[in-house]
Chain A
Amino acid sequence: MATNQIDPTKWVDQYSDYLFNYTIARVNDREVAQDLISETFLAGLKSMKNFKGEATERTWLISILKRKIIDHYRKSNSKKGKAEVRINYKDEESEGDWLEERVADPFDKTAEDSIQNVELGEAIFNCLGKLPEKQARIFKMKTIDDFDTEAICNEFDITPSNFWVIIHRARTAMASCMEKDWL
C-alpha cells in the first residue's frame, strides 16, 4: 500500500519546526538539535528507497530522528568518566558530601511541568501540520515568531483584512484541534 509519496524538497518547510520541538525537548541544546535534524534529513535522503509508503513522511522522519538522538547520547556517554563531578558544600561549616542534602527545592519546576510543556509543543505543531499550508505559515509567523502584521501582509501580498480572516480561521481550527487535551 504505497499511498504516501515522498518529497525531500519540502521537508525543511514542513517538518523542521515539528522535529525541532521534538528534539529540543530531548537534548536541550539548540545547536545540537539543529545538527540532529539536519542529519536526519540527510539520512532520510539516503534511505529514501527504503521508504515503503506505509507510514506518513513525518512518522518516518521521526523514527530516523529517534535513532539520531539515541546515537547522540551514546556518543556523549562514551565520553563519561573523563570528567569527575564532585558534590561539595558551598559553605565551610558543614562537612561531607551527602547527595541527599542537595536535592532540588520543591518550588523549582517539577518533572511533570516540563513533560507537559514538551507535549504541548508537540501538540501545537501537530495541529499546525493539519492546517492548510498558507494558514499554518501565517499563523506561525504572527503568533510564534512575532512578526508585524504589515511585514506578513507584504510578504504574502495580502490585505490586512485578508490577513485577519486567515488568522481567524487558523485560530478557530487550532483551538478545536487542541481543545480536547489542552484548552
Chain B
Amino acid sequence: MKLKTECHEANHICDKNQYKEATFMEKVRLNIHLIYCRACRKYSMRNSKLTKAVNNPTVQTVSTSEKEVMKQRLQEQLNSSNS
C-alpha cells in the first residue's frame, strides 16, 4: 500500500466519506493525512458541515413523478393557449 496520501486523493476520500462510501483503509489514510495537512483539515470540516446542513430534515424536494405531473399540466395549458 502506498503510504503517502496526496491532497487530491484525500479530498476524494473525504467526498466519498460524506456519503459513507469510503472503505476502512481509505478512512485510515484520510485521517493520517489530516494530521499533518492543514488545508485538507479545513476542507474536511467545511465538507462535513455542508453535509449536516443539507441532511437537515426540513430540506425537501419534489419527487420526479410529481414534477412530471406539474410539467404535464403546464404543457396542456401552453397548448390550449397557443391554439
Interface residues in chain A, defined as those with a beta carbon under 8 Å from any beta carbon in chain B: 8-9, 11-13, 16-17, 20-21, 24-25, 30, 34, 37-38, 41-42, 45-46, 114, 117-118, 120-121, 124, 140, 142-145, 149, 164, 167-168, 171, 174-175, 178-179, 182-183
9 contacts between A and B (CB under 8 A): A13-B67, A20-B60, A20-B62, A42-B73, A143-B51, A143-B54, A168-B11, A175-B50, A183-B46
- Which residues on the A side are within 8 Å of B69 (C-beta)? 38
Main SS class of interface, B: helix
CB of B83 within 8 Å of the partner chain: no
A-B contact count (CB 8 A): 97
- Which residues on the B side are within 8 Å of A142 (C-beta)? 19
Bound complex: CA of A182 vs CA of B49, how far in Å?
A: 9
Q: Which residue of B lies closest to A42 (CB)?
A: B77
Bound complex: CA of A8 vs CA of B11, how far in Å?
A: 39
Bound complex: CA of A88 vs CA of B80, how far in Å?
A: 54
Whether the pair A164, B50 counts as a contact (CB closer than 8 A) is no
Q: Which residue of B lies closest to A16 (CB)?
A: B62
